[in-house]
Structure 1
Amino acid sequence: MSQPDSAGNRQAVPEREIRGNERTVMVLSGGFVLAFIAIAAVDLDWLSAAVDTTFGYATQYFGAYWQLLMLATFLIALVMAFSPLGRLRVGNDKPDYSNFSWLSMIMATLLAGGGVFWAAAEPIAHFMDPAPLFAAELGIEGGEEGAAVPALAQSFMHWGFLAWSILGALTGGMLMQLHYHRGWPLKPRTLLYPLFGERIMHGTPGAIVDTFCVIAVVAGTVGPLGFLGLQVAYGLSDLFGLPDSVWLPAAVLLGVIPLYLFSAITGLNRGIRVLSRFNVMLALFLAAFILLFGPTAFIIDGFVQGMGTYVDNLLPMATFREDPAWLDWWTVFFWGWFMGYGPLMAIFVARISRGRTIRQIVLAMSVLAPVATCFWFAIVGGSGIAFELATPGAISEPYNEAGLPAAMMAIAQQMPFGAIIAVLFLVLTTIFVATTSDSMTYTISLTMSETDEPATWLRVFWGLVLGVMAMILMLMGEGGVTALQSFIVVTAVPVSLILLPSLWYAPRMAMHLADGEEPAIDGETGQSVKPTGR
């Protein structure tokens, strides 16, 4: 780790030590997870009621704040990227990874359940039941041709610019400066160093901050594992006639745990990078196949018009508050989910982005990844809408009968070689979720490690915790999964407060770095610190 001195030579920056708190974070976060599982096993109804109550408070009192936080993060990140600050290179003279490997790890880690599960299900859901904003303004009815573009636009809203920006566009650059130029560790509490100074780095409050973020990511990662179990179990039952029971999704998870554990154990340069590259290559193959043999014109038109509608209505959609019930289970749910990932995803982005400029990080997180995601949603979900318009009931009937997991299988089986494409989609779903699970296993372990390479036993422990927790909740039936989905939003409340200071400190730190000062504001004095020549 190094930084330039006054003569332009690079000198070592010593690691700042934080001892004694890793065990506290381990005990608090691990204890909470075990308590959650134990209460669910003893009295799932009580747990569900408690989670629903806190869910209601979270959405009522924090929903509007979250919407503004997401919007502000995106806008401030863009201003930074296109200002002179965007040219600043952080942490090294050149990137550690090629552009393709770097973007693959970012895309594969964050798409997770959205990669296939939501890409197939959400557009058809909004097509059959249009979002209130478009239903009120345009007077469209579900299932009509006029509902197609608004359905895609609403899906783009939930998986586009704002969603991706909160995952590291500002916080990733902040952590890189604090880690690679100041020597502070890659931990969630480091995001609050500019506000509180060293007090937050060494005391119990810092351990509590890390614990909140770990719990949020555990909930957010177990969620996609649950979606994976439901999706693959439905696919296996539909394709091969396997009995549909709670044991089948659990068996699916039992098979995927060794995959992401092996990837997490082998680390960034081997398992995670290789699995991410394969994931992206398979997604590109399926995208090309659908574009060639599917409803090509509809996909292209839907993407172009959907993006136009999305951009034109970005502010109205981002600030829509007129239908709280719909908002809670769509926009606010997704915002809570993504914010819960925010600090640990920022750590992952900082870990793989050394040597990148601020502009590269912001454009990757806030523009390139969202546009690629929206195009993928147009390919998968747009095809579903096209098939439904051509043959009413082709997608909507399985969707209405079996819910969200049925959408992807129904879409795949409308394609040439439908059974083979369906199997490939199941493989892609599995790898998408595995790449999120391995990256988050690695990053959770990183928050409890004294170095940038977590111990193997830590990775194994947290990888097993994620998988076993998902299996247990799946075996409890729909109630366990529903409780977890609501709990994802609850965990976002403290995490959203941890993300808030980045709106002010991310650009301010970059300005100090550009001026040759330390890229942080001492939280105790409020003054910038000149380089010490370390």
Structure 2
Amino acid sequence: MTTPTTEAAASDVRGGVDRIVAGVSAGALTAFVVAAVAGPDTVGGWVSTGFTKSASWFGFYWQILMFATFLVAIGLALTPWARARFGTKAPEFGRFKWVAMIMCTLLAGGGVFWAAAEPMYHYLNAPPFFGDVEVGSNEAAHVALAQSFVHWGFLAWAILGSLAAIVIMHAVDKGMPLRPRSLLYPVLGKRVVTSPVGAAADIVCIIAVVAGTVGPIGFLGLQVSYGLSSVFGLPDVYGVQLAVIAVLTAVAAVSVVSGVNRGIQFLSRVNVWLALALMAAVLVLGSAWYVLRAFVGGFGVYVTDFVGTSLYRGDPAWLSGWTVFFFGWFLGYAPLMAIFIARISRGRTVRDLIVSTAVLPPVATCLWFSVLGGTGIMLEQERPGAVSGPLNESGLPAAVMSIAEGLPLSTLVGLGFLVLTILFVATTTDSMSYAIAQSCTSEDHAGTKLRAVWALLMGAAAAVLISIGDGGISALQSFIVITAVPVGLILLPSVFAAPVIVRRMAAEQGITGWRQSGATAETTTSSSAPTTAVAASTAATDPAEGVSA
């Protein structure tokens, strides 16, 4: 028998598309763009106020949430339960393709421009946690890299791809949709499908990731236009910026329409190979020995002061501009990143998922920041002002172009960085377009038209916003920190539910002891009674099952 609630929910879904979620999300983006164009100063002031209050009131909560997520994820990976596998089939993607898609989705333009600029900012002005550090010293270089690792390292990756992905995959196995609302399954059970709270969770998470994706698209137009002007002498005007965004949007749209199995994974692989080639080029043309020492020194400081820097609260103004901003940004991305990772991770074990999201990618990210940012610091030490001068004068894109200019084959290296940046942002755009479209549908796979519409919509929004300068783009990117307030609450149940879910999965699969020989495992799995008994005894500990019952 169909309940009134089910009938009401069904009336809002046509052809698999949730009209309320899709309409409100797209309408919110359109309204923001129109308001920003009509009154950029007013909108900028509102966003600035909301940003300040969100960072002040919730910043410490975000730090604790991300720190706890990392600790719980690593703790789970060390248990025997982590041998539990999601699904019964073999992994859909090989390891290289799988990790490439995960890494390229997060890094976006930050993989190039922030990797070059952020270490330089911290090198020139030591973060307050570290006190007075002599500018120009090796200690300053290590501190600068360590602080960048805090923002882009273990905590960022853990919140994006570990516990939330576990909860979503478990919820999908229980018949829930591949949507952000399934993060609330441990609390609401099956009611999350039709609950207004579930719809609100979808909308908030979509708006957050749209803000976080349109921002990099817009900044890409500004940054690549500046780079083309530096390398080829092209005019740094709106027409060039618009052309860059058009190319990026077209690439992302074609990629997302072709699907995960073709376009998205292909673009990610190309991205990774180009990044590796550029990294090798910078090491050979610069100083591999300096970068290696900088990485070891910076990573050593990062690990030594891991707790202190992650939970530092001594300078609220500095925190809101750096640590809290980045943490809020990654939180805003987390639900839809978890959806994308859940989509591509069937067949993997829990340990494999955690290690390949919360351990290996952050180490690789820290190495990349050391190669690019460390080389910039080396050039700055050799010729003070070589990188910091253009950075202070022209902003983020000037840092990476200055580093390229300081190396042999500067034109080729600079062009490579511009192409890599476009591919990074295109990969993020296609992956997030896929996840957004999936969040707007009741079907297992979002239609190609819906995926393309979201890619084109975000590209169009970026094109309009940069027409009024970088103020509109900055406001929208800052808005993701405001949306991180409700998103942070949506992610909280995962910290407590993921261990219970993993333990239950392990029990159902016969993985119950710290040490288990092959013979014991075979006996356990071949006997349905003990397995059933264990599963039954642990069913009550699954919060989702308890609520839904």
Q: TM-score range by the shorter chain?
A: over 0.9
- Whether 1:188 and 2:180 are equivalent positions in the alignment is yes
Counterpart selection for 1:42 from 38, 52, 72: 38
Matched position secondary structure for 1:501: helix
Distance 2:276 2:375 in 1: 16
Q: 2:139: which partner in 1?
A: 146
Provide the residue aligned with 1:521 in structure 2.
Answer: 542
Distance in 2, Cα, partners of 1:200 & 1:141: 54
Amino acid in structure 1 at the alignment position of 2:90: K
The aligned residue for residue 77 of structure 1 is 73
3-state DSSP of counterpart to 1:338:
helix
Contact 1:509–1:519 under 8 Å retained in 2: no
Identity of aligned residues (%): 49
**What displacement does 1:363 show?**
0.5
Structure 2 partner of 1:425: 417
CA contact (8 A) 1:282 1:428 kept: yes
What does residue 412 of structure 1 align with?
404
The answer as to 2:29 corresponding to 1:33 is yes
Please state how far the C-alpha of 1:416 moved relative to its aligned partner.
1.5
Q: How many residues align?
A: 508
Alignment correspondent of 2:320:
328
Q: Structure 2 residue aligned with 1:200, among 173, 176, 192?
A: 192
Letter in 1 for 2:74: L
- Scaled by the length of structure 1, what TM-score is found? 0.92
2:156 counterpart of 1:160: no
Cα distance in 2 for residues equivalent to 1:386 and 1:444: 41
Are 2:497 and 2:543, in contact at CA under 8 Å, matched by a contact in 1?
A: no
Q: Distance in 2 between matches of 1:18 and 1:115?
A: 41
Give CA-to-partner distance per residue, 1:294-313, whole Å, 9 cap, x none: 11111000111111100000
Match of 1:265 in 2: 257
The 10-residue stretch of structure 1 (162-171 or 236-245) with the greater mean CA deviation from structure 2: 236-245
Distance 1:482 1:258 in 2: 23
1:345-494 equivalent positions in 2, closer than 5 A: 345-494=337-486
CA distance in 1 between counterparts of 2:545 and 2:373 reads: 51
Q: Distance in 2 between matches of 1:105 and 1:523?
A: 30
Preserved contact between residue 384 and residue 395 of structure 1 (Cα < 8 Å): yes
Structure 2 gaps of 5+ residues are 1-7, 509-534
Q: How far apart are the structure 1 equivalents of 2:128 and 2:284?
A: 34
Cα 1:121–1:520 change in 2 (3 A) is farther
* Distance (Å, rounded) in 1 between the aligned partners of 2:543 and 2:142: 49
Whole-Å separation in 2 of the counterparts to 1:232 and 1:482: 17
Equivalent-residue separation in structure 2 for 1:322 and 1:373 (angstroms): 27
Whether the 8 Å contact between 2:118 and 2:373 is mirrored in structure 1 is yes
Q: Which amino acid aligns with 1:187?
A: R
* In structure 2, distance between residues paired with 1:307 and 1:525: 43
Give the match's secondary structure for 1:93.
coil
1:239-318 equivalences under 5 Å are: 239-318=231-310
Q: Which runs of 5+ in 1 are unaligned?
A: 1-16, 530-534
The correspondence of residues 114-129 of structure 1 with structure 2, limited to 5 A, is 114-129=110-125
CA contact (8 A) 2:86 2:347 kept: yes
Distance 1:396 1:53, change over 3 A: same
Q: Distance in 2 between matches of 1:267 and 1:63?
A: 36
Question: Which TM-score applies when normalising by structure 2?
Answer: 0.90
Please give the per-residue CA displacement for 1:335-371, whole angstroms capped at 9, x wherever unaligned.
Answer: 0110001110000000000000000110011110000
2:85 maps to 1:92: no
CA distance in 1, matches of 2:232, 2:540: 57
2: CA distance, partners of 1:440 / 1:99: 21
Given that residues 189 and 547 in structure 2 are in contact (C-alpha distance below 8 angstroms), is that contact kept between their aligned partners in structure 1?
A: no
What letter corresponds to residue 23 of structure 2 in structure 1? V
Q: Which secondary structure does the structure 1 equivalent of 2:359 belong to?
A: helix
Cα distance between partner residues in 1 of 2:454 and 2:352: 31
Partner secondary structure for residue 351 of structure 2: helix
Distance 1:525 1:456 in 2: 37
- Is 1:172 aligned to 2:168, yes or no? no
